[in-house]
Structures are given as structure tokens and as C-alpha cells.
Amino acid sequence: MERNNLTLETKNAIAGYLFILPFLIGFLAFMVFPIIESVRMIFSDVRIDTVKQGFSMTFTGLANLNKVFFIDAEFNRMLVEELGRMVLIVPAELIFSLFVALILNQEFKARGFVRAVFFLPVILSSGIMIGLETNNTLLNGMAEMIRDGNTMKASVTSVLEDILVVSEGSGDNAVADFMGYIFAVVNQVYDIAMASGIQIIIFLSALQSISPSVYEAADIEGATKWESFWKVTFPMVSPLILVNIIYSVVDYFIRTDNTIMTKIRTTLMQRLEYGFATAMAWVYFLAVIIILGVVAFVISKKVYYYE
């Protein structure tokens, strides 16, 4: 009787808590203690203790953080560079994935096969495949041979960029900056396509959840396809835009080819500077959290929620 008296909202809340319960149990059992230990490492000089077969920590205060911000010459530069690349790539990923999702949402032959092709980069962009791609001696040797054998010594986009810059002149800096952004995106189209599989699926599910009657009403009112996109489609998928932005930012910052991730891994595994590596990791983590908070706060003000 008491269960029957529960409201729908309460039942949904209970179902949600039951759904995340395995994660909560795993987090409390396996993650809390390592997180506490990593926080201790930030303020300690960590050494391998061969006698106790573990780690010995000597409290050093803010020495590791001081080394991260003021002594190490690479971390701050790498962090700024990665933030700049993130600002370049994430908007391009969102535009590309939304454009592809709009195409895949249309009726045409072999639509399932084409969807599978666009989801294939999700598999290819896994950690193992990226490791094979970046550490493959044969592929690296072939790439070096291609670069050495290129008699033009320039890419197609660089040639076009030079032509457009000369034709535009140096009077309009805004146009030059915009064209520079476009060419930078084109030069990284491979990375953008490889990282857009999940976003395409999320946008595709959002598009399929829009009722056809909404578009029928827009057609009756005389709206064009362009107007239907901005007045119907875009507001309807805007909640998923926020989801994709958060996913894209997190996915970018944890990529295996990220320079900061590589530096942290090298410092930890090769130099055995556990305290310094942990301090860099926590600073990097907090920087990502702040960026996500700012992005979520700004974008959530523009999101249209509907029942």
C-alpha cells in the first residue's frame, strides 16, 4: 500500500538511485582511498620504500605546486596550448557532428550502413588504436618519407591560405583571423572526424525524438527548411548540445595524444617523480573542472527545455 502511494517523481528518483548504486559502491570501495592518497602526494616528496614494499611520503608543503606553477617551464605553456586547441576543435566537432546527424536522419538507401561507417571512428579512436597509430614505426617512417618526398613543401590548405591572404590584404584582421580558424579546422579534419562518433549518435537520437507533427505545423505556417531548422530543430536538440559540449571537452582533455597527459605519464613512469606528477594531474583536473563549470553555466542559460 505504501509503495502504491508513492508519486511518479519519487518512483523515478528511486529507480535513478538504484541505477547508479553499482557505481557508488565501486567508487566508495575502490576510488576514495586512492584519491585521498593522491591528495597527500601533492604535498609530499614520494619515494619508493623497498623495505616496506610501498611508498614513503615526506611532507614538503607547497613545493610540488610551486614547481608546477613557477619552476617547470613546460606545464603552463602546454596547458595554454591545449586550451587553445580545445577552443578550436570542440566547436568544430559539434558543428560537424550536428551536420552529419542531420544527413543521417534523412531517408535514403543503405542508411544503416552509412551510420555504421560514421560510428567506426569511435572504435578506431580507442586507446589501443591511437597507441598503434602513434607508436607504429612503419607508419611513422612512411609519413616521414611522404614529407621528404613532397616537392611542393606545402599543403593544399597552406597554398589556399596564402592566396586568400594576399587577395584580402592586411586591412581586415577579422577576416584574416576567421580564415585562419577555418584553415586550422580543415587541417585537423581527421582528428575532428575521429572524435565525433558519439556526438553524432547523441544528436541523431535527439533528432529522432522530435515529433513529425511539429514539422507539419511549421510547414502549414509556411516556414522554410532553414526557418524550421532554427525555430524547431535547433531548440529541440539544444539540451543535447550541452551534453555534447561537456562530453567533447572531457574527451579532448583525456586523449592519449594530449601533451599534458604525456608529460604527466612521463614524469610518473620514467622520472619516478610521483609528487610532482600528482600535483600536475590535480592542477590539470581542477582546470578542466573550472572550464566545464563555466561552459555548463553559460550554455545552460541558452538551452530550451521542453516537456
pLDDT for residue 143 is more than 60: no
User: What is the DSSP secondary structure assignment for residue 221, as one 8-state letter?
Assistant: T
pLDDT recorded at residue 176: 62
pLDDT for residue 153 is more than 50: no
Average pLDDT over all residues of the chain: 77
pLDDT in tens, 82-128: 888 888 888 888 888 888 888 888 877 777 777 777 677 666 655 44
Give pTM, 2 decimals.
Answer: 0.71
| Cβ pair 105, 207 in contact under 8 A | yes
Question: From CA 56, how far away is CA 45, in angstroms rounded?
Answer: 8
Question: Domains in the chain, start-ordered, CATH in brackets?
Answer: 67-300 (1.10.3720.10)
pLDDT in tens, 225-267: 888 888 888 888 888 888 888 888 888 888 777 888 888 888 8
**Lowest mean per-residue pLDDT among 12-16, 77-81, 185-189, 190-194:** 185-189
User: What is the DSSP secondary structure assignment for residue 232, as one 8-state letter?
Assistant: I
User: Can you list the pairs that 34-43 forms with residues at least 24 positions away whose Cβ atoms lie under 8 Å?
Assistant: 38/278, 38/281, 38/282, 39/282, 41/274, 41/275, 41/278, 41/279, 42/275, 42/278, 42/279, 42/282, 43/275
pLDDT in tens, 32-59: 888 888 888 888 887 877 666 677 778 8
Which of 107, 138, 100 lies closest to 122 in space, CA to CA?
100
**Lowest mean per-residue pLDDT among 11-20, 133-142, 222-231:** 133-142
Question: From CA 285, how far away is CA 25, in angstroms rounded?
Answer: 23
Question: From CA 12, how far away is CA 302, in angstroms rounded?
Answer: 27
| C-alpha of 140 from chain center | 25
Q: What percent of the chain has pLDDT above 70?
A: 73
